[in-house]
Amino acid sequence: MLHTCLMLACFLHFPVQIDDPVKIEVFFSKEHVPADLKAGEKVDLKRIDTARISGDGTMRYTMTTLAEGIEVLSVTKEEKPRETWLAMSVQFRVTKEQAELIAQTKSTLIPFTSKGPDGKRVTKQRPVPMRIERKKEAK
C-alpha cells in the first residue's frame, strides 16, 4: 500500500512526508559550537569519545557521528551558565530515530575530573560531550 502511495505521489508530484520532523534541544560547551552558527544551517552532530591535547597545544578529538545534515532551528548563548557544558543551547530539527539516539546520548553520564575551588581534583558526573561541525561540502 505504501509503495503504491509513493508511486502515485511521485507521478502527481505531491511531496510525501514519511517521517515527521522532531525538535530536540542539546546543550554544549562554547568551544563545541561554531562561533557564527545560525538557524537554518545544516550541520553534523557528533559525540566526543576522547579528547587530548596534542604536542602543539591544540585539542584533538575522536568522535562518532550521531546525525548528519540536520537543521539548526535556534542557537542561544546562556548568560550565566551554572556549568561550562551548559553555555550554549541549540535546537535541531531531526527525525524520530535521530531524536531517540540523541536523547539516549544526552542521558548517558560519564565521570569528569576537574580542579575544584581549593585546587584539588574533583570528579563529577556529566553528560557525554557533543560537538557541532558544519556540513562538509561535496567536492
- Over residues 126-135, the pLDDT tens digits come to 899 999 999 7
Other beta carbons within 10 Å of 117:
6
Supply 3's cell numbers: 509503495
Q: Using DSSP, state whether 88 is helix, strand or coil.
A: strand
Longest distance between any two alpha carbons in the chain, whole Å: 69
For residues 103 and 117, which has the higher predicted lDDT (pLDDT)? 103
Confidence (pTM) = 0.77
- Over residues 113-126, the pLDDT tens digits come to 888 888 899 888 88
Q: Using DSSP, state whether 60 is helix, strand or coil.
A: strand
DSSP 8-state assignment for residue 95: -
